[in-house]
A and B are shown apart, each in its own frame.
Chain A
Amino acid sequence: MLAGRARERLGSVGDVSEFRGDVTLTVPREVALDALRLLRDAPEGTPVLTDLTAVDRYPAVPRFEVVYLLTWYAAPARVRVKALVPVDDPAIASATPLWAAANWLEREVYDMFGIRFEGHPHLARILMPDDWEGHPLRKDFPLTEEPVQFIGHTPRTPSQIIPKSPPRP
């Protein structure tokens, strides 16, 4: 119900889709903060920012999706907001003015994907060491095993055990 109203109100801002009952609103990154503010000030009540993360859609263009998951506790309902971010200028407005929870979550996305959040009070690495190079959850960051000193052990990645199959229709 709430999703239906969100669709009505935000249909002009972005593209609304539904999969397995999850409602997703996809918006250009320039209006992401406005869309979030619209949803936060919804007459149904203030949602909570349950999660904020990103997806690397390599080789799609634009490559990154910043994903916000909002939950209305009273209703109860969930809406997912997705903003598309290109790889050559990975930046988006910070949601910290709207929810305090965005602080660490945005730091994690910055750490893992290298997406900058404009207006974030302290955008620094949070999980990886400060001097780490690269952003681990990007698809071009390889997953390898650390070499160990056992004899007869060759490091290998799980991809060599069961290869990725092509997508099925």
Chain B
Amino acid sequence: MKANPLLFEEVAKVEVLNHEQSDFLVMVKGVFDYLCNNAMNDYGDSDKQDLARDLGGDIRLNSLGHLAELLEKFEANAIANGINVLWAQDGDEACKLVEGLIDKHDVKIITKGKSMITEEIDLNHYIESKTGVEVHEGDLGEFIVQQRGTPPVHIVAPAINLQLGEIIDILHESIDMPKTEDANEIADYVRGFLRTRFQRADMGITGVNQAVASTGSLILVENEGNIRWSTSAPKIHVALMSIEKVCDNLADAMHLVGLLTRNCTGQSITSYVSILNGPRKENEYDGPEETYLIILDNGRSKAYADSELREAMRCIRCGRCGVKCPIYLQIGAYPYNNCYPGPMGVALMPLLLGVDETKHLYQACTQCGACAEICPVQVPHLSLNARYRQMKASGDKEFKASSNIWEGLFFKSLTTGMNNLGLYKTGLASMRFFTKNSSSDGYIKKLPGPFSSWFISRDLPEIPSQSFRQYWETEGYKFTKEGKKNE
């Protein structure tokens, strides 16, 4: 999928009317809240849970503070383990590296473990268009949306917006599944279909949840087994990770995994956590013969230069913020039009795609703070959002932000007016005058101009003939000690 968040409004207007979807997402929110809160209780009372989040934040902060050092340490240990480490500055370079490996190893069938980074660089599409190699998503949800030809709607539950009926139709048409409403039978059919692909695949492609510097290990988390298959059966394993996914040691990684799964699916741990140290050794019968790791920058190192913006890279992709975001729950993932829908992408995408192109992501936000409050690694969503708005207001070459002259003038004059009592009073009086005829029963039903959109669904109380300050001028003396005495 080519990300184009500028289409946000168009898509959002359609999606917001999809009540079936929003009702379902609200139900999902209830379920996730219940499960995740329960799982966080493992840490103890709310103070202990805060401590766990603090530690998560500390670990991420340490990683970001020492990113180069940790990456080099990790790289050295990974190479010692037998992993081939490759670097890519952008998505195109990463895709070409994968293409090169497909050629080199004469790959015919690829299975994938669920991975967001490959969505970020649109790897599937690249492979299919350049090489004609079969690519099979291994995660059931990803598999369904792959058949449907739409991007995943939620990072953890990619097909969560699809009703059972839709899923049945998609799978019936694409892989000839006999129609059944039994989730067990559906899963079983796809299990059988993918099993033959897993067995025959010669390359497995996955992401990475954490790379451990001290041991050179890759840690991958999942429930279904698609990652274990993709990293155990094919002769080649290619893992991709973005530069920020590294931590110092295994205990840190384990803590992050604990926060990740508790906030992602509400589990203390997922069914499978793989600690991969590289290809099989000489006397081993399975596991990949070659392991490649592609470390991808894709605009992150540029953001790294700014100590405030770099905080966007704390994220460990649990997706908990999405389930808390009121906007996301109304419109679903499609309007965001990038692989990290909801607050996760609001925090990150302006850095990767530019501030102009992503303006709807940070503007279509009420800054309610529900995302920041729940985040297990303390991503400062609100400050990042404020920063993007500031960049947009003042312009920023580095991150492609161009200011809007008219809006700038509006806020300049608004500020002048709001800081000058005479101007303010005149402004208020004229507003009162101009709206006088628009109101009935104490409410304004409609106004032209920049406020017109308010009245699509709401009324506005009419402007009272006496402002508070006028009231105080005549009555206020009664409420001061002085005034009371005189009375």
The answer to whether A and B come from one shared complex is no
Chain B residues with CB under 8 Å of chain A are: none
